[in-house]
Amino acid sequence: MKRFFRVLVTGALAAALTATAYAADFTHCADSMKAMGLFAGTNKGYELDRAATRAEAGVMLVRLLGREAEAKATAYDAPFTDVPDWAKPYVGWLYRNGLTAGVSGTKYGTNDTVTAQQYATFLLRALGYSDRNGDFAYADALRFAEEKGVADGVNCDGGTFLRDEVVAMSYTALSRPTRAGTVNLLTELTQKGAVSESAASNYLLRFRNYSGYEKACEAEQAYTRKSTAATTDLVVNQGGQTVAQTSLRTESACIGGQSGNDTVFSSVTRQNGAVVGAMYYADGTLYRLLDGETEKQKLDFASLDYDLTGALPVSLFSRVQASGTVGGVATYTLTAAPALADRIVTQTAGQQGFTSLTESGFSVDKLVYTVGTDASGVRNRCQAEMGLTTQLGGKNAGATIRMDSYLTGVGDSVTVSVPEGLDV
């Protein structure tokens, strides 16, 4: 059970903070898209757990281009014979405007499944980028979509591409700047009248707050020399009593080079003053303390994914609030969608060998981030708090995990040394 507590502190929370390569549940994105009139689902509901068809992707593209009313007002004149009546206005408009050529001269491929690469291309076009004019190449669409913040490891994890990812990528695209760079896609759709101001207002505010949070994270990542300190606390309550608690303190320092192998990094974790974990990276080699022994491994620094300062994807959050902007200092509070947070943490527990716990009852009640900036708008502190319910001894127990992280140094004052206990 002690190992379970340690995993909760260092594994589940870290997984939620990086939130990549996990099966997701983007019902909250579908709800948001529906509220804006951009997603309707089917007569069976959202059907997020099945692949999207080319016809469904075409409908979404027309809506995201703000052309649905125009499409519906024009007679179908495309040469495709496999398009059902409900999709004809959309496919016809795409064909007339050179955005689809079908899979043959007479077939659109209505029921063929759409791939992540194809849908990324659609979304890039919605944002004003053109593969015909050389903004990107179709073969490179996913990478370009990642570069523009449309696709990421959460909303498009490289596995089976489902309607779940379609709504998540579409929702993300609404928050991104158009090719012109002056406004985001949702603002443009509102200006065109494709989405009403009343339907868009809450989401415009959410995306504006998220943009501030994102810029604060980017500003911190610009530091090539920095040190941080983080305290992570776990408290488990059962029957009104505290039955277990632990606290870890992690101090790290990094000096970045021109490539991953030029980076020097150290990290040490202590519990009650005693070293329980340590890492040191230099010259392309990672040294790690495991059970009192030093493990040595050649790898690229980027694969460590140690840095939790990068902005988490907007599709993770059902609420994004901003406050306290006096003197340039701001505080952003981001609340993860409960179903999505639950799935991430449950999968982490299962991967660490605690499947029986997840099967008997394991759910995340909340996952909230509070990010603060300095007067220059640089992220300098973050608090992540997770509340969950699990089973201990056949009875319900509530656990709270809280991590407080602070930027403790930047520039020439930062040094990196080998942590005690490591044999380097």
Cβ partners under 8 Å of residue 5, min gap 6: 234, 236, 244, 246
What is the pLDDT at residue 365? 84
What is the pLDDT at residue 6? 46
Return the structure tokens found at 197. 């101001």
Distance in angstroms (rounded) separating the CA atoms of residues 8 and 400: 10
Domain of residue 328 covers: 2-17+227-413
Cβ partners under 8 Å of residue 281, min gap 6: 263, 264, 265, 266, 287, 301, 304
Lowest mean pLDDT among 149-163, 340-354, 409-423: 340-354
**Could you tell me which of 287, 282, 246 has the C-alpha nearest to residue 264?**
282
The whole-model pTM stands at 0.88
Is the model's pLDDT at 147 over the cut of 90?
yes
Task: Tell me, yes or no, whether 401 and 268 share the same domain.
Answer: yes
Task: Tell me, yes or no, whether 188 and 301 share the same domain.
Answer: no
Is the model's pLDDT at 7 over the cut of 50?
no
Lowest mean pLDDT among 80-84, 88-92, 210-214, 336-340: 336-340
Domain count, the chain: 2
Query: Are 301 and 265 spatial neighbours (Cβ–Cβ below 8 Å)?
Result: yes
What is the pLDDT at residue 2? 43
- Grouping H, G, I as helix, E, B as strand and the rest as coil, residue 418 is coil
Residue at 240 is within a domain:
yes
Task: Tell me, yes or no, whether 307 and 200 share the same domain.
Answer: no
Task: Tell me, yes or no, whether 35 and 152 share the same domain.
Answer: yes
Task: Tell me, yes or no, whether 208 and 326 share the same domain.
Answer: no
pLDDT bin (cut points 50, 70, 90) of residue 340 is confident
Calculate mean pLDDT across residues 260-278.
Answer: 87
Is the model's pLDDT at 4 over the cut of 50?
no
The 331-336 sheet, strands edge to edge: 293-298, 285-290, 274-282, 264-271, 241-255, 225-238, 395-410, 379-392, 363-373, 331-336, 317-323
Return the structure tokens found at 400. 């709270």
Per-residue pLDDT reduced to its tens digit, 355-383: 555 555 667 888 899 999 998 899 999 99
Handedness of CA 121, 126, 129, 134 (dihedral sign): positive
Residue at 222 is within a domain:
no
Residue whose structure tokens are 């928050």 = 175
